[in-house]
Amino acid sequence: MNLTKPIQQNIFSKKGFINVTTAGYFLCWVIFLGLGWESAQATEKTREDPPPEFAHEAPRLRSIMEHGWAAEKGIGQAANSALAASLYCEAARFSSAEAHYRAGLVYASASIVETATAAAFFKFAMELGHEQVHMALNALYLSAGPQKSIVPSCLTDDEEQSGVARRMAIPVKFPLFNFQGYLAAMPEGKRAVAALLVKHAPLFGVNTQLALAIASVESNFEVLATSPKNAKGVMQLIPATASRFGVKNSYDAEDNIRGGLAYLRWLGEYFHGDLSRVIAAYNAGEGAVNKYNGIPPYPETIAYVKRVLTLSRMRDTGANTMLP
């Protein structure tokens, strides 16, 4: 398996060992993360951590919001308010009061100043019971006057999503988030988790970019992450999947990562390297993918596939694109 070829052509390997080329690829990742660790030491004490309210969200929503925070504050990349607003709005689609609140703050900021949109987000956050939004909405009214309530287009645009489901291919439409820069700027504990993925992914014949993207979307490298559906750990394994792939402790990062990678390798073989189906099945299960003969028409799964492809910078062009 030659991992130096374009990633969309070599995602899975049927061989369970590292050859010279793979070892070189692994070394490049180690050097990258190592340089990230050194450069991040200078900003470790000054980096503005995500608000503690993010920790109350389900792992996948928390991941989206932490990426939004990184885009807003310029963590590992240039600050990008438009991208931050887009990410917060993506989380808001799943009825997160905090995501609505954060989107409203960005839209009300000097870098965007769309007060009607900000007011709509704030009102949604209020309806969902957010405790701090009253002050933000009052401040907006004081500075800009009463605002007409307009539902943000990012909360209502389902046409693209349904089209994506029909095509069973997700276009990488917003490749703006600097994922590699973000990885290098993460706190030390999360960088250590990323290093485990870089270490083990080639051993399981799984592309490193894909493994890192899925881990980030699932838990954003949180070892103790637990979802409302009892998915656990870095790779968010439900108990049945953990047992199926021999995971003894889902809160042990290395054990969990091995289980998640083993599942990805199995999915790659089962779907003959079809990237979109593999990613969709990791989210919704292979049964759902078989039922719909492709990406299931679930908003969460459609968004999930899009996010993984965006972060990994992969593009799926149809069946068998993952075969060597």
Q: Which residue has the higher pLDDT, 128 or 12?
A: 128
269 is catalytic: no
pTM: 0.82
- Given a cut of 80, whether residue 217 has pLDDT beyond it is yes
Residue 39 — very low, low, confident or very high, per pLDDT cuts 50/70/90? very low
Has residue 35 got a pLDDT over 70?
Answer: no
CATH no., domain 52-155: 1.25.40
**Among the listed residues 307, 258, 301, 249, the one whose alpha carbon sits nearest the alpha carbon of residue 280:** 301
Q: Are 316 and 277 in contact (CB under 8 A)?
A: no
Q: How many CB atoms lie within 10 A of CB 126?
A: 18
Supply the angle between the helices 208-218 and 188-200 in degrees, to the nearest 10: 140
Q: Considering 72, 98, 114, 218, which one is annotated as catalytic?
A: 218
Same CATH topology for 7-39+187-312 and 52-155: the answer is no
Q: What are 83-139's pLDDT values in tens digits? A: 999 999 999 999 999 999 999 999 998 777 788 899 999 999 999 999 999 999 999
Q: Are 267 and 284 in contact (CB under 8 A)?
A: no
H or E segment to which residue 73 belongs:
helix 59-73
User: What are the sequence ranges of the domains in the chain?
Assistant: 7-39+187-312, 52-155
Amino acid at 43: T
Q: What is the pLDDT of residues 46-93, one digit of tens each?
A: 568 999 999 999 999 999 999 999 999 999 999 999 999 999 999 999
Q: What CATH architecture applies to the domain 7-39+187-312?
A: Orthogonal Bundle (1.10)
pLDDT for 144-168, tens place per residue? 877 776 788 888 865 444 433 333 3
